[in-house]
Amino acid sequence: QLVQSGAEVKKPGESLQISCKGSGYIFSDYWIGWVRQMPGKGLEWMGIVYPGDSDTIYSPPFKGQVTISADKSTSTAYLKWSSLKASDTAMFYCMRQGADSDDGFDVWGQGTMVIVSS
Amino acid sequence: EILLTQSPATLSVSPGERATLSCRASQSVASSLAWYQQKPGQAPRLLIYVTSTRATGIPARFSGSGSGTEFTLTISSLQSEDSAVYFCQQYKNWPSVTFGQGTRLEIK
């Protein structure tokens, strides 16, 4: 399973890192992705990281806006902002890519709500 | 970027009837398409991958079909617990993926 860190309330300009801890499988063998879901909206793919070697790929709209990383020693993936904006307010989910690229995202975290407000 | 358009935006169907949800891609994704179900307050759940393969534990009343640019998720014999938003996702150029905007399924 994937267990995400708790909800956050932050001010614009603050930094934030949320986490996603895997268990029950070999964390370093599976890609972990992140999606954003703004209130009442659909799913936006942000990027993906391979914990085995930290290879990271970003969706163009999110490149430079967030940092995705993983620590295989603690089976944890991270999503980090250096300077939050009000428009970052959303629910964020991590998910595991199945063993093959054809397998879809087969395990999801419970989500982390981030609220950015002055 | 491959865009996915889902229709209808909202679908209202009676229990026991069949629901048909559509997903159209802006260019061919071959069979690289998945479907997810998201209930209120929950994370999405994988239903179908590679167009028509059910994920582990998904009931047989959920089925997927299509290829290229036109895809369908069919839910036969609807039950109340099927009320949710359904998203399609393409991964033709994995790891770059995109999601459709979702179809809200209401059970009358």
Q: Name chain B contacts of A102, Cβ cutoff 8 Å.
A: 32, 49-50, 91
- 8 Å CB contact between B6 and B23: yes
Closest CA to A46 of B42, B54, B99, B41: B99
Residue A93, pLDDT score: 98
Residue A107, pLDDT score: 97
Q: Name chain A contacts of B56, Cβ cutoff 8 Å.
A: 106
Strand order in the sheet with A76-81: A2-4, A16-22, A76-81, A67-71
From B43, B49, B96, residue closest to A102, measured CB to CB: B49
CB atoms closer than 10 angstroms to residue A82: 12
Report pLDDT digits (tens) over A80-103: 999 999 999 999 999 999 888 889
Report pLDDT digits (tens) over A2-40: 999 999 999 999 999 999 999 999 999 999 999 999 998
CB atoms closer than 10 angstroms to residue B17: 12
Give the residue, B69 or A100, on which the prediction is more confident.
B69
B103 CA to chain A: closest CA distance, Å? 10
CA within 13 Å, CB half, B66 = 28
- Expressed in angstroms, the distance from the first to the final Cα of chain A is 34
CA within 13 Å, CB half, A65 = 13
Residue A25, pLDDT score: 96
Residue labelled with tokens 């391979």: A50
Q: What is the mean pLDDT of residues B62-70?
A: 97
From A45, A60, A108, residue closest to B97, measured CB to CB: A45
When pLDDT is cut at 50, 70 and 90, the band that residue A41 belongs to is very high
From B1, B36, B95, residue closest to A31, measured CB to CB: B95
Q: The tokens of A37 are what? A: 């879901």
* Type of residue at B37: Q
Report pLDDT digits (tens) over B22-62: 999 999 999 999 999 999 999 999 999 999 999 999 999 99
- 8 Å CB contact between B106 and B84: no
